[in-house]
Amino acid sequence: MRTRPLKVALLGCGVVGSEVARIMTTHASDLAARIGAPVELAGVAVRRPSKVREGIDPALITTDATALVKRGDIDVVIEVIGGIEPARTLITSAFEHGASVVSANKALLAEDGATLYAAAEEHGKDLYFEAAVAGAIPLIRPLRESLAGDKVNRVLGIVNGTTNFILDKMDSSGAGYSEALDEATALGYAEADPTADVEGFDAAAKAAILAGIAFHTRVRLDDVYREGLTDVSAADIASAKRMGCTVKLLAICERAADGKSVTARVHPAMIPLSHPLASVREAYNAVFVEAEAAGQLMFYGPGAGGSPTASAVLGDLVAVCRNRLAESTGPGESAYTQLPVSPMGDVVTRYHISLDVADKPGVLAQVATVFAEHGVSIDTVRQQGRQDGNGEASLVVVTHRAPDAALSGTVEALRKLDTVRGVASIMRVEGE
Ligand code: HSE
């Protein structure tokens, strides 16, 4: 074993960074044996230097992250700061100054992964980011390496724990969205400002990363269609149950049937209880991958939190250190297919539409005609008269597969009918 240690700079020492530092210390001899050389924490860049950080030598703490990555003797920079800047400048600077990089930064990879990959390639260094998607779950490496010989056609996943916790609560207790969010906040699953999670931004960044890797093309955050779960009601969950389904916030990345384009989207969807993703409870994540030769694969586990995310970071650290000792690099960007990302209107799926309609003769026929005129075929219709005697009924229509643009046209036309008093909800049905 080499005795000269590989030097590691840690950028960020919050929930994940402090756990990375702890594991590097407590598992030092195992890590050294697995790598073939010891790894040494050479510096830790933080914003608040006065904070007590148990187990970390105060002499390693600095507020000057820029100087740390430019030292010239750093082998690996671990970036767990998050956000676009200064993370992007620090990572590119790390490559320029001879380091490889392990990052957990989903926002940056989804926004501008191409710049990071290009800098890594230019300087012959590694960029690893297992922790950026679904915490501890090995997913990036299986897609980048284990499935590199296969053709992935679809990635369907629950990649946000906060929203899965909220939907699971709504499903198990009948609670409304606000009540379930309050519980998630009280238990520490949701942040004080839950926007990134509940509006689907976090999941959309992960979908962009997964789609790019799965289909060997470039997919950016802006390419991902996004709907959050704030409009999901207790009635939607109850309706899903009547259909033998549950509601999940899904990230769905698909190769088009003709193979000439891809789509990436995040939105709430009904999935059958028989689908493996339906049984993913609480704040767990799971990703279902469909590949041509491998068939269906499912990856499951904790998608967030200090220790699970640190596990993914440490796995990358070991891989990157091994590569350095072997004077090689792991996989770089693979975007050779250059498949364009199609708009949401091109996505083909099934829909569950809930309408409030006048309860009188001919209304069902009128509604059915609108669906037919837009080429959307109806699978089932369920009508329920209201008890309040106001002459209204609830109509739930489930369609066969149809393009999203056709469904949007249908709904627009339905809203114009005098007999349709309101479109209570529209939800896609997936996983069948
Ligand atoms: N906030 C995310 C979640 C974890 O709830 O899953 C970090 O991506």
Give the pLDDT of residue 70. 98
Confidence of residue 384 (pLDDT cuts 50, 70, 90): confident
Distance 168 CA to ligand 1 centre (A): 15
Domain ranges of the chain: 6-135+306-326, 140-302, 345-429
Give the pLDDT of residue 41. 98
**Ligand 1 atom nearest to 191, measured from its CA:** 1
Report the C-alpha gap between 41 and 74 in whole angstroms. 10
Confidence of residue 432 (pLDDT cuts 50, 70, 90): confident
Give the pLDDT of residue 3. 93
Report the C-alpha gap between 114 and 361 in whole angstroms. 59
Confidence of residue 203 (pLDDT cuts 50, 70, 90): very high
CATH superfamily of 345-429: ACT domain (3.30.70.260)
**Ligand 1 atom nearest to 303, measured from its CA:** 6
Using the predicted structure, report yes or no on whether residue 386 has a pLDDT greater than 80.
Answer: no
Distance 80 CA to ligand 1 centre (A): 14
Q: Which residues contact 288 (CB under 8 A, 6 or more apart)?
A: 154, 155, 156, 157, 276, 277, 296, 297, 298, 299, 431
**Ligand 1 atom nearest to 190, measured from its CA:** 5
Q: Is 106 a catalytic residue?
A: no
Distance 83 CA to ligand 1 centre (A): 14
Q: What percent of the chain has pLDDT over 90?
A: 96
Confidence of residue 390 (pLDDT cuts 50, 70, 90): confident
Distance 283 CA to ligand 1 centre (A): 9
CATH class of the domain defined by 6-135+306-326: alpha beta
Distance 133 CA to ligand 1 centre (A): 9
Domain 140-302 fold: Dihydrodipicolinate Reductase; domain 2 (3.30.360)
pLDDT per position as a tens digit, 280-305: 999 999 999 999 999 999 999 999 99
Q: Phi/psi of residue 344, each to 5°?
A: -60, -35
Pocket test residue of 189, 202, 313 for ligand 1, highest count of atoms within 8 A of CB: 202
Decide the pairing of beta strands 152-158 and 61-62. Answer: unpaired
Report the C-alpha gap between 159 and 214 in whole angstroms. 15
Q: What is the mean pLDDT of residues 44-61?
A: 94
Confidence of residue 387 (pLDDT cuts 50, 70, 90): low
Q: What is the mean pLDDT of residues 263-292?
A: 97
Report the C-alpha gap between 372 and 350 in whole angstroms. 15
Q: What is the mean pLDDT of residues 83-103?
A: 98
Q: Which residues contact 333 (CB under 8 A, 6 or more apart)?
A: 113, 114, 117, 118, 121
**Ligand 1 atom nearest to 159, measured from its CA:** 6
Q: What is the mean pLDDT of residues 53-75?
A: 96
Q: What is the mean pLDDT of residues 218-234?
A: 97
Nearest CA to ligand 1 atom 4: 304
Decide the pairing of beta strands 100-103 and 76-79. Answer: parallel
Name the DSSP class of 348. E
pTM: predicted TM-score of the whole model, two decimal places: 0.96
Using the predicted structure, report yes or no on whether residue 239 has a pLDDT greater than 80.
Answer: yes
pLDDT per position as a tens digit, 124-155: 999 999 999 999 999 999 999 999 999 999 99
- Nearest CA among 26, 5, 42, 3 for reference residue 307: 26
Distance 304 CA to ligand 1 centre (A): 5
Distance 64 CA to ligand 1 centre (A): 28
Number of Cβ within 10 Å of residue 205's Cβ equals 28
Q: Which of 206, 241, 248, 260 is catalytic?
A: 206
Give the pLDDT of residue 291. 98
Nearest CA to ligand 1 atom 7: 304
Residue 252 Cα distances to 125, 203, 290, angstroms: 31, 10, 11
Give the pLDDT of residue 29. 98
**Ligand 1 atom nearest to 196, measured from its CA:** 1
Report the C-alpha gap between 69 and 61 in whole angstroms. 13
Using the predicted structure, report yes or no on whether residue 308 has a pLDDT greater than 70.
Answer: yes
Alpha helices, DSSP H only, in 187-305? 195-198, 201-215, 234-242
Pocket of ligand 1 (CB under 6 A): 160-162, 197, 202, 303-304
Pocket test residue of 160, 199, 282 for ligand 1, highest count of atoms within 8 A of CB: 160
Nearest CA to ligand 1 atom 2: 160
Topology match between the domains 6-135+306-326 and 345-429? no
**Ligand 1 atom nearest to 189, measured from its CA:** 5
Alpha helices, DSSP H only, in 14-160? 15-26, 28-35, 65-69, 87-96, 106-122, 140-141
Using the predicted structure, report yes or no on whether residue 342 has a pLDDT greater than 70.
Answer: yes
Distance 163 CA to ligand 1 centre (A): 9
Pocket test residue of 162, 164, 284, 287 for ligand 1, highest count of atoms within 8 A of CB: 162
- Nearest CA among 273, 268, 279 for reference residue 351: 268
Report the C-alpha gap between 100 and 7 in whole angstroms. 11
Using the predicted structure, report yes or no on whether residue 388 has a pLDDT greater than 80.
Answer: no
